[in-house]
Structure 1
Amino acid sequence: MNHRLRTSAATAALALAATTLVSGARTAEAAPSACPTLRISDGWYGENKARIDRLIADHCQDKGAKGGKPVAVFDWDNTVIKNDVGDATFHWLLRNDRVRPPRQGDWSTTSRHLTPEAATALGEACPTGVRVLPTATDTRCADELLSVYASGATTTGKTAFEGHDRRRMEPQYAWLAQLLHGWTTRQVESFAAAARAENLAAPQGATQLVGATRVTGWVRYYPQQRDLVRTLRDAGFDVWIVSASPEPVVDVWAKGVGVAPSHAIGIRNTTDRGRLTAHLKGCGSVRDGEDTMITYIDGKRCWINQEIFGVRGPAAERVQPASRRQVFAAGDSDTDVSFLRDATGLRLVLNRNKNELMCRAYENGDGRWIVNPMFIEPKQRKATPYPCASTGYTAGDGTAEPVRRSDGSVIPDQPDKVF
């Protein structure tokens, strides 16, 4: 083709014009002028921004279509923001004496998964006969509560939780919601708002003292994710947040990216006369008060199917037909892997070096996974490959197993490539 072009300047000019027209046509096809695109380019790795813009272009004309709006679902902590709003709220509760003791001082009533050793440790560390625990000044009580919540063990190293399905329940996350018992939803929202104000005002890298322990004291919204949520909404997507933090807490924070409480799903407590109880709402085959499934790994799939797509009963626990699944999903952890796999268009993964998630994202069997470093304080490259072929998957009983594709074949170990 090149030597033919050299034969005629006119031919070259025509070819150039034709190329320009074709290029323009392709550009128009990739991103119609009516479709919004991401405004922020900084922080996006490789072709990720371009691929998201193309996805938006492919679906923005679906606005008002008979089949309904395309759905986008985001995890919250370390996906839309840096750090963890559940942690931020729990730290605030302890620093401000906002945890109520259980009735009769029986800590086993706060979680069916709490071990007798943990219940005894909490009973010995924290006073009874008080309206709220004096954790702002009672270091021993605050330390025991923080240890059980943050590490899943007592201050003496004894296991704090047991007897749960590790694909549906994380008792440490659930325990924060359960420790909100006795408060109203509005009161919890006010606690979350106070914690939010403190953590956004604190300088990046700040710590705070809770009991005798220094813990993270700051949170930031990712500008890139705010931009992405706004762009998806402008393009006609139905945007949701699904988090393993308590729902009243997520509601407060989600407003900061323009997502209303009606579109934020978190751990939900049952209520009694307007006040939260230490029991949780169920999903799928799990009834209210059974406390065996939260918005965690397969539980996130259930809650998305139930609350967004209207699937009821045990069917909500299963993968749905493509027409009843999210087009776009974003997450950062193994807790997000099931709902990410369900996404039919693109699956955005922020790399936090989580084994199962990174195995699936890097293997990228269907070409729909995109990996991005965290937008603030990205992780260093993992020195060794992810152990996909041996221990990358955690089964419901806690057994470490190989990560398998849908057909049962094993995903080989994957090197860390995006950091």
Structure 2
Amino acid sequence: MRNRNTLALTLAAAATLAAVPAALPATAATAADSPAAAARCPQLSKKLAWHGDNRAKLQRMIDERGRCSNPRLGHGQKRPVAAFDWDNTVAKNDVTDATIVWSLRHDKILRPKSWKSTSKWMTDEADRALTEACGTDVPVGKPLPTSKNTACADEIFEVREDGKTMSGAAAFAGEWDHRHTVPQYAWVPQLFAGHTVPELESYAAKARKEALAAPVGATQTVGTHELPGYVRYYDQQRDLIRTLKKAGFDVYIVSAGSEPVAEVWSKSVGIDRAHTIAIRSVLDREGRITTWNQGCGGVPVNKGEAIPYIDGKRCFINQEIFKIKGKSAWERQDWDHRIALGGGDADTDVTFVGDATGAHLVLNRNKSEFMCRAYDNADGRWVVNPMFIEPMPRKSGTYPCSTAAYNEHDGRKGPVLHDDGSVVPDQRDSVY
């Protein structure tokens, strides 16, 4: 098991992307036709539905980059890498929300010394709203009775969900790089400060059991918030991950959630701790989660300034998988130090999925910057699929790619640009 008490960011496995020929080799195109070659040409299940010819596109990439064309993978030749976001990419719905809701329903959030101490960006208004709703009767470090105090649960979830108080005041203010972090995402592991990692894992496991047992379409309520009450693994993504691993790929999860929560879920698709990357909290000497997390790209231990979020996902992939240190980890790397396949569903994923050299898999959730890149399809390798369960309706009008789809570092919206600086034209939704 990874030693979580160290401040150094380490993963057990390191991988670099195998060199890719300019065109698909003839052997890759025909190898699967030979029974003798079947073992090194694993196939995606034809029983699982994909949109259009997406299965064929992904299969071609697997054959091109995997053992089908490179039988020495793992035996002198480095493995190609695939990386997936988790929430709404590998599984339907948000497992972090499921864990928070379970924790609120079972009184697992500990009262902090002050709410403002939980985040460097928390406003006085949010500190006051949380203090008023949750009270001060409970001793510091003891569980808040959120199962009965619905106003407290409501306020906590509103801050996490929308970055606002129930009265509509901003919960976070100040300066942060909007492509490196978002305070309400960073706040989730900070909210569990005082717990041990095994404790948080146990909450995630119990929430997982309930979410998988609930019927598709089920909802649950926290205060005045109604949200999905179920989670499902996507069968197509399970099959894709399984096929990639059989074909010789190193497969990773890269999530903007809390790492112990992501690890509870990822192991059921065959991805271990060493291949699960998320917000990694620093622990105190007693092994308890603190409000600090480990950094990336030259950013040291911090209060949330660098998490796996938009450009931060690229940074953690470069640092953890390809062992690129310092500020260079924020930059796009050369072909041999980039993932072959990236999969995601939201703007949070646009940078690392865009870095993939073989295929960019997008589950359409109508997120503007991501869908502008996907539909523009600049390199011809973008693979767009509706969500496999309860897909989103078609977006009306167009994505504002030419004016206001790009998430600027300062939080403003701007045009999405090609690598040469030209503007990506507005795009219509066509895969839904």
TM-score (norm: length of structure 1): 0.91
Which of 50, 54, 60 in structure 2 is aligned with 1:48? 54
Structure 2 residue matching 1:279: 3-state secondary structure: strand
Evaluate the alpha carbon distance shift between residue 160 and residue 25 of structure 1 in structure 2; reply closer, same or farther with a 3 A threshold: closer
Deviations 1:190-234 (A, max 9, x none): 000000000000011111222343322100000000000000001
2 CA distance for matches of 1:337 and 1:345? 15
What is the letter of the counterpart of residue 296 of structure 1? Y
**What residue is the counterpart of 1:108 in the other structure?**
116
1 CA distance for matches of 2:47 and 2:313? 30
Contact residue 352 and residue 374 of structure 1 kept, 8 A: yes
1 CA distance for matches of 2:29 and 2:110? 59
Matches within 5 A, 1:136-215: 136-162=147-173, 163-215=175-227
Question: 1:65 deviation in Å?
Answer: 4.9
Contact residue 29 and residue 63 of structure 2 kept, 8 A: no
Deviations 1:141-180 (A, max 9, x none): 1111111111111000001112221101011111111111
**What residue is the counterpart of 2:64 in the other structure?**
58
2 CA distance for matches of 1:55 and 1:249? 31
Contact residue 270 and residue 289 of structure 1 kept, 8 A: no
What is the letter of the counterpart of residue 56 of structure 2? A
Evaluate the alpha carbon distance shift between residue 208 and residue 344 of structure 1 in structure 2; reply closer, same or farther with a 3 A threshold: same
CA RMSD across the alignment: 1.5
What is the letter of the counterpart of residue 36 of structure 1? P
Which of 311, 321, 329 in structure 2 is aligned with 1:316? 329
**What residue is the counterpart of 2:96 in the other structure?**
86
Structure 2 residue matching 1:54: 3-state secondary structure: helix
1 CA distance for matches of 2:78 and 2:181? 31
Deviations 1:362-393 (A, max 9, x none): 00111111101110011111111110011011
Matches within 5 A, 1:254-403: 254-273=266-285, 274-403=287-416
What is the letter of the counterpart of residue 207 of structure 1? T
**What residue is the counterpart of 2:17 in the other structure?**
none
Larger mean CA deviation between 327-336 and 107-116 belongs to 107-116
Which of 105, 120, 129 in structure 1 is aligned with 2:128? 120
Query: Which of 1 and 2 has higher RCO (CA within 8 Å, sep 6+)?
Result: 2
The reply on whether 1:135 has 2:135 as its aligned counterpart is no
Structure 2 residue matching 1:249: 3-state secondary structure: helix
Evaluate the alpha carbon distance shift between residue 403 and residue 27 of structure 1 in structure 2; reply closer, same or farther with a 3 A threshold: closer
2 CA distance for matches of 1:297 and 1:66? 33
What is the letter of the counterpart of residue 115 of structure 2? W
Question: 1:289 deviation in Å?
Answer: 2.3
Structure 2 residue matching 1:72: 3-state secondary structure: strand
Task: Give the % identical residues.
Answer: 52
Question: 1:27 deviation in Å?
Answer: 5.0
**What residue is the counterpart of 1:3 in the other structure?**
none
Larger mean CA deviation between 221-230 and 316-325 belongs to 316-325
2 CA distance for matches of 1:112 and 1:254? 30
Deviations 1:94-137 (A, max 9, x none): 1010111112xx11110111112111111111122431111000
Unaligned runs of 5+ in 2: 1-25
Contact residue 30 and residue 58 of structure 1 kept, 8 A: no
Structure 2 residue matching 1:118: 3-state secondary structure: helix
Structure 2 residue matching 1:418: 3-state secondary structure: coil
Structure 2 residue matching 1:157: 3-state secondary structure: coil
Contact residue 38 and residue 231 of structure 1 kept, 8 A: yes
**Computing the radius of gyration over CA atoms, which structure comes out larger, 1 or 2?**
1
Unaligned runs of 5+ in 1: 1-23
Evaluate the alpha carbon distance shift between residue 155 and residue 56 of structure 1 in structure 2; reply closer, same or farther with a 3 A threshold: same
Q: Which has the higher helix share?
A: 1
TM-score (norm: length of structure 2): 0.89
2 CA distance for matches of 1:74 and 1:25? 28
Contact residue 39 and residue 227 of structure 1 kept, 8 A: yes
Deviations 1:79-101 (A, max 9, x none): 00000001101111110101111
Structure 1 residue matching 2:422: 3-state secondary structure: coil
1 CA distance for matches of 2:28 and 2:317? 35
**What residue is the counterpart of 2:7 in the other structure?**
none
1 CA distance for matches of 2:398 and 2:214? 36
Larger mean CA deviation between 195-204 and 143-152 belongs to 143-152
1 CA distance for matches of 2:74 and 2:236? 26
What is the letter of the counterpart of residue 258 of structure 2? P
**What residue is the counterpart of 1:20 in the other structure?**
none
